[in-house]
Structure 1
Amino acid sequence: MASTYQTVTLAKRPKDNIVPGETFKLNKNNKAPSAADLKDGEVIFESNYLSVDPAMRGWLNDTRSYLPPVQIDEIMRGGAIGTIKASKDPNFPVGSYASGLVGWTELAVVKGKSLERVQVPKGGRLTDLMAVLGITGLTAYFGLLDVGKVKAGDFVVVSGAAGATGSVAGQIAKLKGATVLGIAGSDDKCRWLVDELGFDGALNYKDKDYAKKFRAATKDLIDVFFDNGECIPPYDGDLTLTVFQSGAKSSTSLSHARSLMPDSSCVAVCAFLSYLREDIDGY
């Protein structure tokens, strides 16, 4: 184990987009902990991979939320998967893998009870535990199956379909026998959804004829709409108004929009991240 390690801390809260070299600070030459520093129940965690997730943008805001905001000069909060380098917790032997909200740091002394011990499945990779078998994959799995209750023959629309969650959601829907239409932000992404992931179709929401193409593709028959955070983007031709044939953006609400769909249909709201800087009434 190295004698020093690096961390990334929050230097300045962004007002809008994250500014490289301004929002975060890289801190080098921190003295590495040793096994002698550990108390009972603690481990030394060495990060192999750090997760960069949409929720992290919200953690930078100095506002009340489900988790307190990351403080200035505090190590950036984030998920990590890594190796136990030293341990005083019998549940985490040296050399085992674990995951947890350790933050953006190469090394950390943490309580074993704050971690989850993980094992790489046969044929899998360590990174799979932070992707398709991690938070994004689980979000897609439960969103489609527990909330959306997708079944064979359904017509499923997935917005944000080329992202980590949307791409898995669409593939799960296909495995259940549904017809899947993906919504993404470029022609390349749309081709990837169809050619690589097996989506039945994909539309670029930036296309000037997007609304017309969407109506033609769906034929006004949508059983499950997996709203992955891009249904009300800050440009013309937004998806929600197209799906629900509703009124102005400012007056759209989920309860009203839901009433315009068939009784058997479902809206699975996964994310609102693209609305963080938008003023939207009714939500």
Structure 2
Amino acid sequence: MGDVNRQIVLAERPGRHGVTLDCFRLEVAEKPRPGPGQLLIRNLYLSCEPAQRGWIAAGANYSEPVPLGGVMRSFALGQIVESDDSHWPAGSLVYGRFGWQDWHVSDGRDIDRRCHAADGPLELNLHLLGLTGLTAYLALTEIGRPKAGETVAVSTAAGAVGSVAGQVAKILGCRTVGFTGSAGKVRQCLDEFGYDAAIDYKTAGDLEAALKAAAPEGVDVYYDNTSGPVSDAVMTRLRQGARIAIVGTMAIPSHPVPQGPRYNRAILVNRATVTGFLAFDWKAQFDAAAKQLAIWHREGRIHTRHDVAEGIEAAPAHLLRVLKGENDGKAMVRIAEAE
């Protein structure tokens, strides 16, 4: 990398064809220099995740969109190589919002977790111990509040978030039903992630009937990663007092506003609660959640898959695989090795 900083920047906003490679451009800048009280972080792994679709859209949602020409927003695992802050000494491994680039200067506020080698392979910090795993754990336990013996349904059940949510639900003593998009991923759900039942939503036909067969007594907790037709089916099978965590909306467009089934009566009759989840509302609980997830991983109770591409140039294409549902595990890009 030398004295340069390779960066993937936003070249244009998604158009009618959605996110394409034309949305991104590789640029080369000078390696940044940290100032007083700042840190220089060398990125090792860059994250690719569905939320990035919203981050580059023209309209703001829960955060301002990435500006045109700006470095693509991303979580990353990095190593501090220079530091003027005793709280963050050189050599420390850190996880935070460092962007798709080789180097990042930080004042510490965009660091979300200090990482520890004892927790396992470095890749875990972008998956199980990063925003992906924290989202799975906190949305399920804080909003879903599952009780032993209840039925938990999860959309994108073989995905990076859904696979963790399903495994946590099993650890907590629940029956789990997963929705996924291929026969291979159904097998992953059952054989690798321990789901009690899994439904291929692309071939099931009548999703309501498929869910009724998989969960004849109904659904107590719905972990909603997608919205869309899967959610429409789940809303017909809610049990009284059901809790629904809205974590993602990949199955519906941001614009125009979709016109789908009206859930009001199902929510009313079943006295259900529907709550949106944004991970940073729960940042105070990140360390405790990561500690618990790391324990379960060491005990062999949670299994992970990582889909790792090589080189910063691969990041845009790897993101497109995520948005098409073609990734096999948590998608990330390795761009350097830790010292």
Q: 1:265 aligns with which of 227, 242, 257?
A: 242
Preserved contact between residue 92 and residue 117 of structure 1 (Cα < 8 Å): no
Bigger relative contact order (CA 8 A; separation at least 6): 2
Matches within 5 A, 1:53-202: 53-116=49-112, 118-202=114-198
1:19 paired with 2:20, answer: yes
Q: 11-20 or 170-179: which moved more?
A: 11-20
Percentage of identical aligned residues: 34
**8 A Cα contact 1:158 1:227, kept in partner:** yes
What is residue 211 of structure 2 aligned with on the other side? 214
1-structure distance, mates of 2:196, 2:141: 19
* Alignment length (residue pairs): 258
Q: What are structure 1's unaligned runs of at least 5 residues?
A: 233-237, 246-259
Secondary structure of the residue aligned to 1:275 is coil
TM-score (norm 1): 0.84
Report the Cα distance in structure 2 between the residues aligned to 1:116 and 1:179, rounded to whole angstroms: 32
User: Do structure 1's residue 244 and structure 2's residue 235 form an aligned pair?
Assistant: yes
Structure 1 position 210, deviation (Å): 4.2
Could you tell me the TM-score, scaled by structure 2's length?
A: 0.71
Alpha-carbon spacing, 1:66–1:222, altered in 2? closer, same or farther (3 Å):
closer
Of 116-125 and 53-62, more deviation after overlay is shown by 116-125
- 1:261 Cα offset (Å): 3.2
Task: Give, in whole Å, the separation in 1 of the partners of 2:53 and 2:233.
Answer: 28
How far apart are 1:242 and its partner, in Å? 2.5
Residue 31 in structure 1 maps to residue 30 in structure 2: yes
Tell me the distance in 1 between the aligned counterparts of 2:72 and 2:231. 34
Go from structure 1 to structure 2 and tell me whether the alpha carbon gap of 1:262 and 1:196 turns closer, same or farther (over 3 Å shift): closer
Structure 2 counterpart of 1:41 = 37
Aligned AA (1:185): G
Q: Which amino acid aligns with 1:97?
A: L
* CA distance, structure 1, for counterparts of residue 83 and residue 90 of structure 2: 6
Q: 1:87 to 1:261 in 2, by over 3 A?
A: same
After alignment, is 265-274 or 41-50 more displaced?
Answer: 265-274
Instruction: Answer yes or no: is 1:223 the counterpart of 2:223.
Output: no
Write the distance in 2 (CA, Å) between the matches of 1:117 and 1:205.
Answer: 36
Kindly state the Cα deviation for residue 105 of structure 1 after the two structures are TM-superposed.
0.6
CA distance in 1, matches of 2:103, 2:18: 28
Is the contact between residue 44 and residue 109 of structure 1 (CA under 8 Å) also seen in structure 2? Answer: yes
State the Cα deviation string for residues 133-178 of structure 1 (Å, max 9, x = none): 1111111112221111111111111111111111111000100111
Equivalent residue of 1:274, what SS?
coil
Task: Name the SS for the 1:122 alignment partner.
Answer: helix
| Match status 1:280 vs 2:258 | yes
Answer yes or no: is the 8 Å Cα contact 1:203–1:210 preserved in 2: no
Give, in whole Å, the separation in 2 of the partners of 1:94 and 1:119.
13
AA aligned opposite 1:31: E
Shift of 1:266: 1.6
Offset, 1:264:
2.5
Residues 224-264 of structure 1: per-residue CA shift (max 9 Å, x gap): 111111x41xxxxx22333333xxxxxxxxxxxxxx73332
Q: Verify the 8 A CA contact 1:184 1:204 in the aligned structure 2.
A: yes
Counterpart residue number, 1:256: none
* Structure 2: gaps of 5 or more residues: 264-339
